[in-house]
Amino acid sequence: MKRILIFTALLFPFLVCGQTGTQIFSISNVNITVDNLFIDLPTNYWGTAGHSLGNPIPVSIGNQSYTIKTGRFTGWDNEPGDYDVIEISKNGQQLVLFKDGEGIVKYNNSMYMPPNYAFANRFVSYAENDYFISVPLSATSKALIFMGKPYGTDLPRLIIFVLTETDAKLVFCKRMYVESITKTVNDFSMVVQSNLTSVGDGVPELHTIWLQNQDLWFKNN
C-alpha cells in the first residue's frame, strides 16, 4: 500500500533541561515570534471563497478577552469537515483569519465515529469546547489546538494558535496525526505522527510536542 511522507524537516536541536528539541515559538514582552519551519499554510481554496461565522466563543488571557469564531465557506455546507474558517478577534478587531478548504473538525461530534474522524473524538475530554483544546502556557498566554480533517491520502492538519494579552498568532500548522495527549494542571504533551503507514508496512515517524518554560517545543522521538 502506498505510503506518503508528509513532513520532513531538518531540526536544529537545543538542549534544555535534559530534553533535546526545537522551540516552536517565543514570547517576549507579550509579543509572539513564530518559526516558519512549523507553518505550512493551506492552499486549497485559500482566500477564494466568502464565508459566514457562527457564535462567538470567549477566551480570557490575563485581564484581556478574545473572541473565537468558526465558520463555513459560502455554499460549502456539505463539504468535508465541520467548518473551514477560524477567526480570532479582540475588542472587535480581527487579529487572525485562518482558512482551510480541506475542513476542520469538532472534537465532540459522534457522527464521525467510526472511522473517519475518531482521531479527534478520542480527545474530547481535553477540549475546552467542541472546537479546541486550551493549554495554559503562563498566567498571560494560552495555546489553542485545533484538528483538521484527513483529505484523500493526506494526514489531517494540526493547527495551533498562541494568544497573549496583546497578541494572537498561528504558530503551528503541519499535516500530523495526534497519537496521544497528556494534559494535567501543570503539564502538557502530545505525541504526533508525520507519515502514513499501512498495517505491517512502514515505521511510524513519531514526534513529541510538549510544554516547557511557558513555550511549546518539538522533538523527534
Q: Is 90 among the domain residues? A: yes
Range 173-210 burial, b when 16+ CB lie within 10 A, else e: bbbbbbbebebeeeebbbbbbbbbeeeeeeeebbbbbb
Least confident of 45-49, 63-67, 114-118: 114-118
Percent of the chain with pLDDT over 90: 59
Distance (Å) of CA 149 to CA 66, 104, 157, 160, 162: 25, 5, 7, 15, 21
pLDDT of residue 212: 95
Q: Domain limits at 38?
A: 14-21+31-220
Total domains in the chain come to 1
The three-state secondary structure class of 37 is helix
User: Residue 111 is placed in which grid cell?
Assistant: 457522527
pLDDT for residue 2 is more than 70: no
Whole-prediction pTM = 0.87
For the stretch 117-162, pLDDT in tens is 467 888 999 999 999 999 999 999 999 999 998 877 889 999 999 9
Percent of the chain with pLDDT over 70: 83
Q: Is 49 among the domain residues? A: yes
Q: Is 6 among the domain residues? A: no
Q: Is 151 among the domain residues? A: yes
Strand 133-138 with 19-23, pairing: unpaired
More confident residue, 48 or 105: 105
Q: Is 215 among the domain residues? A: yes
For the stretch 189-221, pLDDT in tens is 999 999 887 666 778 899 999 999 999 999 999
Q: Is 148 among the domain residues? A: yes
Q: Is 9 among the domain residues? A: no
Q: Is 196 among the domain residues? A: yes
